[in-house]
Structure 1
Amino acid sequence: MTSNLNQTLQSKYPNLEISVLKISEVKENNENFRIDSEPFKKSNLITNQYIDYVKLSDIALINPSKTEISNLNLDTEVSFISMQNLGTGNINDRETGTIKDYKTGYTYFAENDILIAKITPCMEHGKCSIATNLKNKIGFGSTEFNVFRINDNRFVKEFVFCFLNRENIRKIAADNMIGTSGRQRVPTNFYENLLIPLFPIEFQQQIEQMVRQSHECLEQSKGLYRQAEVLLYEEIGLDPNDPLSSIQPLSNRLNVSVQTLKQSFLATGRLDSEYYQQKYDDIENLIKNYHNGYMRLKDIGNFANGSLISEDFYVEKAKRAYIRIKELSFNSPIKIEESVYINDNFVAKNEATVKENDFVIATIGNTIGKVNLVPKELSGSFISNNTSKFSLFDKNIMPEFLELLLRSVIVQEQIQRDFTQTAQPKISNYSLENILIPKFSLKIQESIAKNLQKSFDLRSEAKNLLKNAKERVENSIIVGGG
C-alpha cells in the first residue's frame, strides 16, 4: 500500500522527492524521534541489494570507556586533539600532556581507533581520521568526536575509515543532526545504525595498502619539512632542536629587563612587563647582527585586513572559498579540503580577496601567527575578518621559503610580543609590517625551498592516494562488490 502511494504521488509530482512511510518505520532507529523530512530522504534509505551489510555497532566498540585506563599512572604521557587538529584523513598538530591534565570530560582513544567529528560549527561534522603515531601513548580528544574501535576480523579498519570518510556519509549525517542552530551534532545512534558493506577481505586489504601508503608519504613529507627547518635555524646560528633557548647566551641570565620611561612607554606605548622580556631583545639583536643584513616585512610586501562574510552565504562548493583561521596551520599547507565556500550569488563590495602566493595570517585569538601561503586553487578567495593578507612584491624572496620563515621562532616570538594583551588578543597590520627578518641570500632560500617543495609533493601524493582509496570504495558500492 505504502509503495503504491509513493509511486502515485511521485508520478503526480515528478519534481519533488517523496517518501511515504509507516509510523513504525519512522520510529525505527529514531531515538530522537525526528519527524521532519531530512532523515527520510531517499538517498538516506538506498543500499545495494547485491551487497551484504553489517551495522557499525556490531563490528566496532563505540566510544570506549576511560575506565580502561583507570589503573594507569596519572603522569602517563598522552596526546590531545581538538576539532582544529582533526584533518580529513590525518591528525594535524597535537598537544601533549599527562593523564591528569586531560582525565575529566574528554573522549579517550588509542592507536588505530577511528575518530570522526560529530559537532558542526561551520560544517566541520564528519571529519574523519585514524589515530596513528601515538607512539604507544594514550589519546584524549574533546567531546566533539566519536571514537570507533573495529573488533570484527571480517573488516579492515582502513576500509571502514574510507567508507566513513566519504562525502556521501557527511551529507547523510547532516540530515540526521539534532540540536540548536549553530551547535548541532550528529547523534551517536546514527553511527551505531550505519550499515557497513561487507566486501571480500582481499579488496579491503587493497584499500588498507593505499591508506598506509598515504600515511607513509605524509610522514616522509613531515621529515623533509623538518630538514628545511633545520637548514633555516642553522643558517642563523640557532640550535634546531631548541631554537628559543639557544637565542640567549649560556649564562644564567634572569629574564629581567630594566628600561627607562623614555625607552619603554614613551617609545612603545606599552607598560606590561611581558613586552620587555629579555628574550625579545636577544631576538632583535640576533636578526640585526645577521651577516647578510636584515629588513622589515613592509620592505618586501604589504598587508590588508580580511572581511566578515555572514554564514548565510556559506556553501559546500562554489567558485570562491572563504579562508578562516581554522584552515590555517603552523606547520602544514592550508587545509583546502576543510574550507567553506561563498555562494556564487554573493555580491562582493570591498571584501578582501587573495591571489596565488599571497599569505594569510591569523590576527585575532589564541592562534595569532598561524600563516599559510595561498595555493593556485584558492586564488580569488575571500579571507575572514580575523585574518590579514600579506602580498609579496619583492621578487628576490621565494614565497615557499618565506612561509617557513614566518613560522619560525624568531618571527612568532615577535608576533607574541606585539599583540595587544586583551581578552581577545589581536595584532595590527602596523605591528606585522615592522617585524624584523634576516636577509637570506637567494642561494640559501633555494636550498631550503628544495626540501619544502619535495615535502609539498609528498603531501599531494598522500592526498591523492587517500582520495583514490575513497573513490574505489564508492565505486565498489555502486557496482555491487569489491
Structure 2
Amino acid sequence: MTFSIIQKSQLEGADRIDAEYYQPEYLLISELLRRQKTQILKNLSNFIKKGIFDLSPDNYRSSGIPFIRTTSIKDPLLDLEEIVFLEAGTHQKNHSTSLQSGDLVFTKIGANIGDLSLLPSDFYEYNFSQNVAGVSVNKKAINFHYLFTYLLSKYGRKQIERRQMISGQGKLELEDLRNLQIVIPSLVFEREIESLIVESQRTKQLSIELYQNAEHLLLEKLGLKDFQTPQDLSYIVNYSDTKKVERVDADYFQPKYEFLVNKLGKKKELFKFAERINTSFKIEPDKEYNYIEIGDVNVGTGEVVFNKVVGKELPANAKIKICGGELIISKVRPTRGAIAIIPDEFNKDFVVSGAFSVFNLASPAKEFLQVVLRSLIGKLQMERPTTGTSYPTITDQDMENLWIPSVKVETQQKIADLVRKSHGARKKSKELLEEAKRKVEEMIEKGGD
C-alpha cells in the first residue's frame, strides 16, 4: 500500500483536500521544484485563455487563418493536415484570442485533457476554439522551445495531471495552467533545447515532403497530377445500372467516379492485389492487450499508436489479431485517410478494431497501396459508397472492390522507398523530441544546469 501523511499546514487551500492530489509522486515532484528557481506560467505569458466561444462550423474555410481545435492537438509538433481556417474578418472579430507561431495550445476538455502542441512557423497568426486553452508566450521572458519541452516533460505533465479537475467529462482549469511552476534554466541550456526542437521540426517537415514526393510520383506516372473532376449539372443513368448496385440516389452516379476509374487505365480490384485478414480470435478476459482503434491512426502522417486494455474491457468489435506489417484501412469516414502500415514491432498481443479492413501483403506493395488509398484515387472511390448516408461507412466488400492501378514494380519500389524514408524521418523527429525532454528532466533532477 502507498500512502502519504499530510500536515494541515501542507494543504493547498480548502478546496484541495482530496487524497489523489497528495500522492507521493506528486509530493516528490513538488518538493524537487520548490528547491529550484521557478516562475509560474502566468508570469511568463501575455495571456492564458480559452478560445472562441460557440463558433459555428459554417465559419470554417479551406484557407485563411488556421483555427486550432482539440482534434488538431494530437502531435506535440502540431499537424496541419486536418486543420480548418477562418476568414480574416472572423478572425479580426475574435482578435482577443489571436495566437502567433511559438505559442502553445492545450486540450482543455475531453478524453485527451492536457495534451499540448507548439504552433509552428508555417503561419504567423492562429486562432483557437473554446475547448482549447491558448498560451501567448512572453518570448522576452523565456525561450518558447524550452517552455514547450518543459511542459511536455514529466515535470510539466505531472503538474497538469495533478491539477486536473475531475468533474464528469473532466476539464483543465485556466487557473491551474496559470499556476504551473516552470523551472528557469540558463540561457545556454535554453538554446541547447531550442536546437533539438528546431531539428525535430525540420526532420518532421522532411518526413512530410518525402511522403508528398511519393504521392506526386504515383499521380505523375498515372497522368493524374493535375486531375480535375467534371462538374456535370445533369447526367443520365440507365435503370439497369441502378438495379446492378441497388442504389437510386443521384449522388452515387455522379460522373466524376467513373471518370476517375477510366483514367486509371490498366487496373485490378484490391482483393486481387492483397489478402484481407478476416479471422477473429478468443479474447482472454484478464489478459492485457495492445488495442488500436480508429482514433489511434494519425490521418495526417499515417502513424499508429495503441492503448493497453484488459481483455474484459475491450470493445465488442475488438476482434482482429495482428502480428506486425499489416495494412489497416478505416471503414468509418474512410475519406479522412486513416490508413496505416502496422510497425513490425507491433507483434505481440495486438488487436485492432473491426472498424478496420486489414490486409496482409509484402513490400513494396503495401507502401504503394497505402499511398494509392490515401491519395485522390482511393478517397474518391471510398467516397462513392458513403453518399446518401448521415454516417459515412463502407463495408469490407466495398473495400475489396476498389480499383488499384497497375504500376510497374520498379515504380512501386521507388514509392515504397520514399514512404520508408518518410517513416524514418518521422521516427528521428520523435527521437529528437524525446532527447530534448530527457535533457530537461535530467537538468531538473540534478538541481539545475
Alignment TM-score, normalising by the size of structure 2: 0.86
Match of 1:221 among 207, 216, 220: 207
2:309 and 2:50 map into 1 onto residues whose CA distance is: 40
2:204 and 2:179 map into 1 onto residues whose CA distance is: 32
Unaligned runs of 5+ in 2: 53-59
Contact 2:328 2:356 in 1 (8 A): yes
Bigger mean CA deviation after superposition, 343-352 or 146-155: 343-352
**Equivalent position of 1:110 in the other structure:** 100
**Equivalent position of 1:174 in the other structure:** 161
Contact 1:304 1:388 in 2 (8 A): no
Contact 2:302 2:338 in 1 (8 A): no
Alpha-carbon displacement from aligned partner over 1:205-237 (angstroms, at most 9, x marks no partner): 100110001001111121121111110100100
Q: Give 1:256 shift.
A: 3.1
**Equivalent position of 1:434 in the other structure:** 401
Instruction: Check if 1:413 corresponds to 2:380.
Output: yes
Contact 1:420 1:427 in 2 (8 A): no
**Equivalent position of 1:63 in the other structure:** 48
Q: Give 1:35 shift.
A: 2.8
The alpha-carbon distance between structure 1 residues 107 and 322, as it changes in their structure 2 partners (threshold 3 A), is farther
Match of 1:341 among 271, 286, 308: 308
**Equivalent position of 1:119 in the other structure:** 109
Give the AA of the match of 1:96: F
**Equivalent position of 1:9 in the other structure:** none
> Secondary structure of 1:376's partner?
coil
Unaligned runs of 5+ in 1: 1-14, 68-73
Q: Give 1:165 shift.
A: 0.8
1:36 and 1:105 map into 2 onto residues whose CA distance is: 39
Contact 1:369 1:415 in 2 (8 A): no
Give the AA of the match of 1:98: E
Contact 2:99 2:127 in 1 (8 A): yes
**Equivalent position of 2:269 in the other structure:** 296
Instruction: Check if 1:98 corresponds to 2:87.
Output: yes
Match of 1:285 among 242, 246, 262: 262
1:74-93 mapped onto 2 (5 Å cutoff): 77-92=64-79, 93=81
Contact 2:322 2:350 in 1 (8 A): yes
**Equivalent position of 2:55 in the other structure:** none
Q: Give 1:365 shift.
A: 4.1
Q: Give 1:141 shift.
A: 2.6
1:179 and 1:89 map into 2 onto residues whose CA distance is: 23
Match of 1:402 among 355, 360, 369: 369
Instruction: Check if 1:422 corresponds to 2:411.
Output: no
The alpha-carbon distance between structure 1 residues 150 and 368, as it changes in their structure 2 partners (threshold 3 A), is closer
Contact 2:271 2:400 in 1 (8 A): yes
Instruction: Check if 1:128 corresponds to 2:138.
Output: no
Give the AA of the match of 1:275: Y
Q: Cα RMSD over matched residues?
A: 3.2
**Equivalent position of 1:455 in the other structure:** 422
Contact 1:358 1:374 in 2 (8 A): yes
2:129 and 2:346 map into 1 onto residues whose CA distance is: 30
Give the AA of the match of 2:400: E
The alpha-carbon distance between structure 1 residues 367 and 175, as it changes in their structure 2 partners (threshold 3 A), is farther
1:270 and 1:172 map into 2 onto residues whose CA distance is: 55
Contact 2:39 2:183 in 1 (8 A): yes
The alpha-carbon distance between structure 1 residues 381 and 219, as it changes in their structure 2 partners (threshold 3 A), is same
2:136 and 2:345 map into 1 onto residues whose CA distance is: 36
Bigger mean CA deviation after superposition, 152-161 or 216-225: 152-161
Contact 1:320 1:341 in 2 (8 A): yes
The alpha-carbon distance between structure 1 residues 269 and 105, as it changes in their structure 2 partners (threshold 3 A), is farther
Contact 1:63 1:108 in 2 (8 A): no
Alpha-carbon displacement from aligned partner over 1:88-116 (angstroms, at most 9, x marks no partner): 32111222341456767996422110112
Q: Give 1:174 shift.
A: 3.1
Alpha-carbon displacement from aligned partner over 1:59-105 (angstroms, at most 9, x marks no partner): 113335889xxxxxx99921123222223321112223414567679
> Secondary structure of 1:149's partner?
strand
1:167 and 1:333 map into 2 onto residues whose CA distance is: 27
The alpha-carbon distance between structure 1 residues 226 and 63, as it changes in their structure 2 partners (threshold 3 A), is same
1:224 and 1:43 map into 2 onto residues whose CA distance is: 42
Alpha-carbon displacement from aligned partner over 1:372-415 (angstroms, at most 9, x marks no partner): 11112333422234x2132234x575222211111010111010
**Equivalent position of 1:205 in the other structure:** 191
1:63 and 1:164 map into 2 onto residues whose CA distance is: 14
Give the AA of the match of 2:5: S
Instruction: Check if 1:321 corresponds to 2:305.
Output: no
Instruction: Check if 1:471 corresponds to 2:438.
Output: yes
2:141 and 2:2 map into 1 onto residues whose CA distance is: 40
Of all paired residues, the percent bearing the same amino acid is 22
1:363 and 1:389 map into 2 onto residues whose CA distance is: 7
**Equivalent position of 2:241 in the other structure:** 263
Q: Give 1:334 shift.
A: 1.6
2:333 and 2:382 map into 1 onto residues whose CA distance is: 12
Alignment TM-score, normalising by the size of structure 1: 0.80
Alpha-carbon displacement from aligned partner over 1:5-33 (angstroms, at most 9, x marks no partner): xxxxxxxxxx33213232x65353x7xx2
2:179 and 2:351 map into 1 onto residues whose CA distance is: 39
Match of 1:145 among 132, 135, 146: 132
Give the AA of the match of 1:77: G
Q: Give 1:322 shift.
A: 1.8
Bigger mean CA deviation after superposition, 81-90 or 341-350: 341-350
Contact 2:341 2:370 in 1 (8 A): yes
Q: Give 1:177 shift.
A: 2.5
The alpha-carbon distance between structure 1 residues 152 and 364, as it changes in their structure 2 partners (threshold 3 A), is closer
1:57 and 1:418 map into 2 onto residues whose CA distance is: 51
**Equivalent position of 2:252 in the other structure:** 275
The alpha-carbon distance between structure 1 residues 97 and 192, as it changes in their structure 2 partners (threshold 3 A), is closer
Contact 2:106 2:114 in 1 (8 A): yes
1:172 and 1:64 map into 2 onto residues whose CA distance is: 18
